[in-house]
């Protein structure tokens, strides 16, 4: 079986049960607790700002001709002053798949931005991908799944493409151990946090990882040590992702995010056991939350007694 | 809907085997520390009356109860409490009277009917049940008629036990209690399903019996049937959360205030045992999804009761996934059919059978996509209705004796009172 058949097989039920439903996009979230919010809301904002700065800096240093940055209303002014400081230009842009944000800006030199706009106008996706610095494998993959499946959300194809064929992975496609390449963990894109400009072709793409590592180096050079430490830690946390009836739900140890995804009546669930768990992460009875050391209720004598009594009655 | 004040989190003196807060207890997230000033400050900001809630709120010391209720009476003129009724004392009753406290008691029947509301061992359980029953009588003698919440399960509503439950409800009627809320069991674990759950048919039978019994009682009303009747006529402005497209990320009907003053959601949507904070905006993705997804795929597409039911409470969703419709669907559908048929016999032409249904559905889904969730009455006043649609609406209102006014060719006012109320 070749890779694309493998991918197609995994996606088939989801695609067969797809429906065309017109709705505006949405994204909403809930924190697991106020302490988690107090610590991590500020950190996530700082990481986002650091990522803006890192990408703008990367463009000004020629790591890629253009960067595409999604922003929410209040972030726009910070983004424009960053561009000014780094002597790069920016224009407002539109891009599929980034609809959970208020807007999107392309950042680069005047000439590169002009080339970018021309490429977008001509629907020349190869040049667009080149300008944004997509590795070829990721570009080919995105092109393939967009052309074949017309999915708006690439989470699922990228995820299935991460599974190794002919290994236990393929037999249990709902679970993936996040042991390496965590820098390109694309599930955090739902929160606007990503070290690559595109959905990587898989969770183990080396080219995408090389890109992410280069960006991290730039971040360290410009002094975002704390932000990078938080981000790289967060990218290694366990997470679960499910999608049903057009809503994706991402659960992380500190926050739950729901957002619009392709509408299918076939439920998909994915678990990524990670290698780290934050101090502020919640105790809970389901993955990805921390299990209490003992089951605080069902292991009590009173409840055991109840079960015995109830099982014997009626 | 009042705010739920939960000073003690989910701490309780008994261990109901079906309690929807058990996931939180199992995870060890009990709560229990409270700061009255912080809590009341939050209630003040929310600006809605509150119910003292738990776990079991009467585990609070009397002086703290008095402080909370004195403030509540001053601020809202009244108070309320939801309790299992086992801990009520003479002193509590004095406070209820002094501070105008409405009392709600959760109990599933007398004697063995209430065994699922467990107290450690059988003897203590039965003692607690008798205590609750005598407290209900004591309250009535003092002129306080508590509202009752009953959950149906195998221990009080199986074929062999249902007659006893009905008798018990007749006793409550003799005590002149006015209101009984009937809950179906919310199944969260395989163990609960195996030990406690009735089959769909048993649930239907029990509800139909209660529906029949209600007509014979003098005082006691099961608000669920009243609501379903009103919903079938589109008069939904007084109905409870389960019928009103509850957003599980914000649970508008339940504004929980925890011991530290933070806001929380209704515990019924808490399946992970994690008390998630409220999302900052409301959204109706679940309901748009259910409208389009087929019934085969756990949606509600094509159901003629969708306008009234909307897939029901997300806390009861199939497979504990709030995006699915309620796993109690077949029960509610059967009951809607029964009440619909009674309405037709009485000369009404309910929404579920009327051409107006498709029009209102379209507008409702449109409103959900804009992030709004109007009640059905408001949909009749929808500003974009075409003249044909207005004619259909008009015909509907006339056929059902719903008083309304027109102004400049548009419906301008609807009266939610109707003769069947
Ligand atoms: S989850 Fe259910 S019980 Fe809770 S507020 Fe929503 S509809 Fe009501
Ligand atoms: S009765 Fe069932 S199918 Fe109909 S709206 Fe309610 S849950 Fe959905
Ligand atoms: Zn790649």
| Backbone dihedral angles phi then psi of residue B102, each to the nearest 5 degrees | -80, 135
Residue with more model confidence, B398 or A309: B398
Please give the Cα distance from A291 to A274 (Å, whole number). Answer: 15
Asked if residue B413 has pLDDT above 70, the reply is: no
If DSSP codes are grouped into helix, strand and coil, which group holds residue B102? strand
Handedness of CA A87, A88, A89, A95 (dihedral sign): negative
Beta-ladder partners of A89 = A108
Distance from the A141 Cα atom to the nearest Cα atom in chain B, whole angstroms: 29
The strand order across the sheet containing B147-152 reads B221-222, B179-184, B147-152, B101-106, B79-83, B50-52, B3-6, B255-258, B263-264
Residue B255 has pLDDT above 80, yes or no: yes
Confidence of residue B32 (pLDDT cuts 50, 70, 90): confident
Element (H, E) at B106: strand B101-106
* B266 Cβ below 6 A of ligand 2: no
Tell me the chain A residues in contact with residue B115 when contact means C-beta distances shorter than 8 Å: 309-310, 313
* pLDDT for B352: 98
| pLDDT tier for residue A173 given thresholds of 50, 70 and 90 | confident
Residue of B27, B161, B256, B261 best to disrupt the A interface, most CBs of A under 10 A: B27
How many CB atoms within 10 Å of residue B170? 15
The tens digit of pLDDT for each residue in B90-119 reads 999 999 999 999 999 999 999 999 999 988
Cβ separation of A286 and B273 shorter than 8 Å? yes
pLDDT per residue as tens digits for the range B277-312: 999 999 999 999 999 999 999 999 999 999 999 999
The pLDDT of residue B409 is: 62
Q: Are A28 and B15 inside 8 Å of each other by CB?
A: no
- pLDDT per residue as tens digits for the range B352-369: 999 999 999 999 999 999
pLDDT at B300 (0 to 100): 98
Q: What is the pLDDT of residue B215?
A: 94
- The mean pLDDT of B163-175, rounded to a whole number, is 98
Contacts of A152 (CB under 8 A, 6+ apart): A96, A97, A99, A261, A262
Nearest neighbour of A283 by CB, restricted to B29, B271, B297: B29
pLDDT given for residue B417 in this prediction: 55
Mean of the pLDDT values across residues A57-69? 94
Whether ligand 2 lies within 6 angstroms of the CB of B326 is answered as: yes
- The reply to whether the predicted model has a pTM over 0.90 is yes
| The pLDDT of residue A169 | 62
CB nearest B115 (choices: A34, A260, A310): A310
Q: Which residues contact A129 (CB under 8 A, 6 or more apart)?
A: A139, A142, A198
Contact A34 B293 (CB under 8 A): no
CA A178 to chain B, closest CA, distance in angstroms equals 22
* Minimum-distance CB partner of B272 among A19, A24, A284: A284
Q: Which of A272, A270, A254, A101 has the alpha carbon at shortest distance from A192? A: A101
CA distance B372 to A24: 13
Confidence of residue B403 (pLDDT cuts 50, 70, 90): confident
How does pLDDT run across A256-307, given as a tens digit for each residue?
Answer: 999 999 999 999 999 999 999 999 999 999 999 998 776 666 677 777 777 7
CA–CA separation, B185 vs B19, rounded Å? 9
User: Is the C-beta atom of B284 inside 6 A of ligand 2?
Assistant: no
Point out the ligand nearest to the CA of residue B4. 1
Give SS3 for B250: coil
The number of distinct structural domains making up chain B is 1
Q: What pLDDT score does B116 carry?
A: 92
pLDDT at A97 over 70: no
Closest Cβ opposite residue A247 in set B191, B278, B285: B285
In terms of CA atoms, which chain B residue is nearest residue A304? B120
Burial degree of B232 (CB within 10 A; 0-12, 13-18, 19+): buried
Q: What angle do CA A268, B188, A177 make, to 5 degrees?
A: 40
CB-nearest partner of B277 from A23, A30, A309: A30
The answer on pLDDT for B421 being more than 50 is: no
Quickly state the pLDDT bin for B24 (edges 50, 70, 90). confident
What average pLDDT does the segment A3-8 reach?
91
pLDDT band at B1 (very low <50, low <70, confident <90, very high): low
Rounded to whole angstroms, the Cα distance separating B29 from B275 reads 8
ipTM of the predicted assembly exceeds 0.90 = yes
For chains A and B, what is the number of CB pairs under 8 angstroms?
154
Residues 110-149 of A with CB under 8 A from B: none
Continuous H helices in A122-243:
125-132, 136-149, 155-160, 168-171, 206-221, 225-234
Q: Above 60 in pLDDT, residue A83?
A: yes
Is B261 in the A-facing interface, judged by CB distances under 8 Å? Answer: no
A182-198 confidence digits (pLDDT tens)? 999 999 999 999 999 99
Pocket test for ligand 2, best of B207, B242, B333, B365 (most atoms within 8 A of CB): B333
Q: How far apart are CA B230 and CA B339, in angstroms?
A: 10
Buried b / exposed e over A128-159, threshold 16 CB at 10 Å, is: bbbbbbbbeebbebbebbbeebebebbbbbbb
Nearest CA in chain B to A251: B272
How high does pLDDT run on average in chain A?
91
Q: Would you state the pLDDT for residue A98?
A: 55
Pick the atom of ligand 2 nearest to B308's CA: 5
Across A89-97, average pLDDT: 75
Query: How many residues does this entry show for chain A?
Result: 314
Poorest-confidence range of A132-136, A169-173, B310-314, B320-324? A169-173
Written in H, E and C, the secondary structure of A42-104 is HHHHHHHHHHHHHHHHHHHCCCCCEEEEEECHHHHHHHHHHHHHCCCEEEEECCCCCCCCCEE
Least confident of A63-77, A94-108, B310-324: A94-108
Residue B182 scores a pLDDT above 50: yes
Q: Does A273 touch chain B (CB under 8 A)?
A: no
Give B84→chain A minimum CA distance, Å. Answer: 17
| pLDDT at residue A31, as a whole number | 97
Pairs from A159-167 (Cβ < 8 Å, separation ≥ 24): A159/A203, A159/A241, A159/A270, A160/A6, A160/A7, A160/A10, A160/A11, A161/A3, A161/A7, A161/A201, A161/A202, A162/A202, A162/A203, A162/A204, A163/A6, A163/A10, A165/A1, A165/A3, A165/A6
A window 208-247, beta carbon within 8 A of B:
242, 244-247
Check pLDDT > 90 for residue A1: no
Test mutation, A268, A285, A294, A301, chain B, max B CBs within 10 A:
A285
- Nearest-angstrom CA–CA distance, B48 and A62: 57
Q: Residue B83 above 50 pLDDT?
A: yes
pLDDT at res. B420: 45
Chain A residues close to B273, C-beta within 8 Å: 283-286, 289
**Cis status of the peptide bond prior to A107, with omega within 30 of 0:** no
pLDDT at position B354 is 97
A135 in helix, strand or coil?
A: coil
Q: Is the CB of B251 under 6 A from ligand 1?
A: yes
Top mutation candidate among B292, B304, B305, B351 for ligand 2, by most atoms within 8 Å of CB: B305
Read off the CATH number of the domain in which B111 is found: 3.20.20.70
Please give the backbone phi and psi of residue B303, each rounded to the nearest 5 degrees, phi first.
-75, 130
Average pLDDT over residues B341-354: 96
Task: Measure the CA–CA gap between A207 and A214, rounded to whole angstroms.
Answer: 11
Q: CA nearest A247 in B: which residue?
A: B285
Q: Within the 4-23 window of chain A, which residues sit less than 8 Å (CB to CB) from chain B?
A: 17, 19, 21, 23
Identify the sign of the CA torsion B339, B340, B344, B347: positive
CA pair distance B22, B25, nearest whole angstrom: 5
Q: Is residue B321 part of a domain?
A: no
Is the pLDDT at A308 greater than 70, yes or no? yes
Output the six-digit token pair for B150. 């009953």
Ranges of beta strands (E only) in B134-215 are 147-152, 179-184
- Between the CA of residue B31 and those of A299, B35, B54, B128, B267, what are the distances in Å? 19, 12, 10, 24, 13
Residue A25 tokens read as 């996009």
- Choose the closest CB to B288 out of A23, A34, A267: A23
Tell me if chain B has a CB within 8 Å of the CB of A308.
no
Measured between CB atoms, does B216 come within 8 Å of chain A? no
* B212-253 per-position pLDDT tens digit: 999 999 999 998 999 999 999 998 888 999 999 999 999 999
Q: Is the dihedral of CA B135, B141, B147, B148 positive or negative?
A: positive
**Cβ neighbour number for residue B78 with a 10 Å cutoff:** 14
Does B390 fall in a domain?
A: no
Where in the sequence is the domain holding B187, given as residue range(s)? 3-269
* Smallest Cα distance from B278 to chain A, Å: 6
Compare B314 and B15 and report the one with higher pLDDT: B314
Chain segment A240-251, per-residue pLDDT in tens: 999 999 999 999
Evaluate: CB of B314 within 6 angstroms of ligand 2. no
Asked if pLDDT for residue A38 goes beyond 90, the answer is yes
Contact A263 B292 (CB under 8 A): yes
**For residues B39 and B259, is the Cβ–Cβ distance under 8 A?**
yes
State the helix-helix crossing angle for B200-216 and B223-232, rounded to 10 degrees. Answer: 100
Question: Which pLDDT band holds residue B325 (cuts at 50, 70, 90)?
Answer: very high
Residue among A16, A25, A295, A297 with most chain B CBs within 10 A, to mutate: A297
H or E stretch covering B159 = none
- Note the pLDDT of residue A305: 75
Nearest partner of B372 among B244, B253, B241, judged by Cα: B244
What does the pLDDT read at residue B100?
Answer: 97
pLDDT at B217 (0 to 100): 97
């Amino acid at each position: 079986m070749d890779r694309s058949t493998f991918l197609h097989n995994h996606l088939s039920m989801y695609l067969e049960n797809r429906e065309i439903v017109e709705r505006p996009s949405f994204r909403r979230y809930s924190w697991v607790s106020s302490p988690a919010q107090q610590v991590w809301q500020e950190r996530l904002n700082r990481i986002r700002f650091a990522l803006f700065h890192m990408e703008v800096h990367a463009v000004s240093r020629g790591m890629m001709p253009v960067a595409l940055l999604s922003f929410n209303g209040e972030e726009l002014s910070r983004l424009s002053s960053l561009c000014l400081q780094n002597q790069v230009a920016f224009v407002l842009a539109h891009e599929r798949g980034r609809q959970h944000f208020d807007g999107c800006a392309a950042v680069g030199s005047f000439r590169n931005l002009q080339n970018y706009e021309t490429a977008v106008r001509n629907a020349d996706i190869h040049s667009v991908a080149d300008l944004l610095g997509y590795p070829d494998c990721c570009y080919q993959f995105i092109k393939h799944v967009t052309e074949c499946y017309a999915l708006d959300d690439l989470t699922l194809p990228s995820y299935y493409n991460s599974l190794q064929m002919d290994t236990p992975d393929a037999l249990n496609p709902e679970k993936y151990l996040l042991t390496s390449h965590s820098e390109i963990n694309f599930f955090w894109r739902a929160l606007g946090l990503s070290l690559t400009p595109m959905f990587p072709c898989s969770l183990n793409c080396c080219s995408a990882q090389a890109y992410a590592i280069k960006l991290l180096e730039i971040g360290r050079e410009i002094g975002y040590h704390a932000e990078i430490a938080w981000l790289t830690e967060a990218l290694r946390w366990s997470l679960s992702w499910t999608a049903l009836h057009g809503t994706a739900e991402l659960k992380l140890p500190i926050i739950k995010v729901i957002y619009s995804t392709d509408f299918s009546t076939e439920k998909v669930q994915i678990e990524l056991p990670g290698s780290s768990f934050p101090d502020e992460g919640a105790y809970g009875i389901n993955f990805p939350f921390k299990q209490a050391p003992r089951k605080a209720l069902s292991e009590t004598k009173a409840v055991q007694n109840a079960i015995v009594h109830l099982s014997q009655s009626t | 809907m009042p705010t739920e004040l939960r000073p003690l989190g989910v701490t309780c003196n008994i261990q109901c085997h079906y309690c929807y807060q058990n996931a939180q207890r199992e995870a060890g997230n009990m709560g229990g520390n409270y700061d009255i000033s912080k809590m009341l400050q939050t209630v003040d900001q929310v600006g809605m009356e509150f119910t003292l809630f738990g776990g079991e709120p009467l585990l609070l010391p009397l002086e703290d109860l008095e402080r909370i209720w004195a403030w509540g009476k001053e601020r809202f003129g009244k108070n309320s409490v939801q309790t299992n009724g086992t801990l009520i004392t003479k002193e509590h009753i004095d406070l209820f009277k002094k501070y105008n406290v409405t009392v709600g008691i959760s109990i599933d029947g007398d004697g063995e009917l209430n065994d699922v509301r467990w107290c450690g061992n059988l003897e203590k359980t039965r003692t607690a049940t008798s205590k609750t029953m005598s407290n209900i009588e004591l309250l009535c003698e003092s002129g306080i008629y508590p509202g009752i919440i009953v959950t149906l399960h195998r221990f009080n509503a199986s074929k062999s036990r249902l007659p006893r439950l009905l008798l018990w409800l007749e006793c409550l009627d003799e005590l002149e209690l006015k209101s009984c809320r009937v809950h179906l069991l919310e199944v969260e674990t395989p163990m609960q399903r195996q030990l406690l759950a009735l089959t769909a048919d048993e649930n239907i039978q029990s509800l139909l019996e209660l529906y029949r019994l209600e007509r014979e009682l003098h005082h006691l009303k099961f608000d669920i049937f009243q609501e379903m009747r009103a919903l079938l006529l589109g008069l939904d402005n007084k109905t409870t959360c389960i019928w009103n497209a509850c957003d599980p990320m914000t649970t508008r009907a339940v504004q929980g205030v925890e011991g530290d003053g933070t806001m929380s959601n209704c515990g019924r949507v808490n399946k992970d045992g994690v008390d998630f904070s409220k999302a900052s905006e409301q959204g109706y993705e679940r309901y748009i999804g259910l409208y389009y997804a087929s019934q085969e795929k756990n949606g509600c597409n094509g159901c003629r009761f969708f306008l009234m039911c909307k897939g029901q409470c997300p806390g009861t969703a199939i497979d504990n996934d709030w995006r699915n419709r309620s796993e109690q669907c077949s029960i509610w559908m059967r009951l809607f059919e029964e009440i619909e048929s009674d309405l037709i016999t009485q000369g009404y032409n309910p929404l579920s059978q009327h051409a107006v249904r498709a029009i209102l559905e379209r507008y409702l889904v449109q409103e959900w996509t804009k992030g709004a969730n109007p009640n059905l009455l408001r949909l009749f006043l929808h500003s974009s209705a075409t003249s044909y649609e207005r004619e259909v609406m008009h015909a509907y209102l006339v056929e059902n004796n719903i008083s309304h006014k027109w102004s400049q060719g548009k419906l301008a006012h609807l009266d939610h009172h109707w003769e069947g109320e």
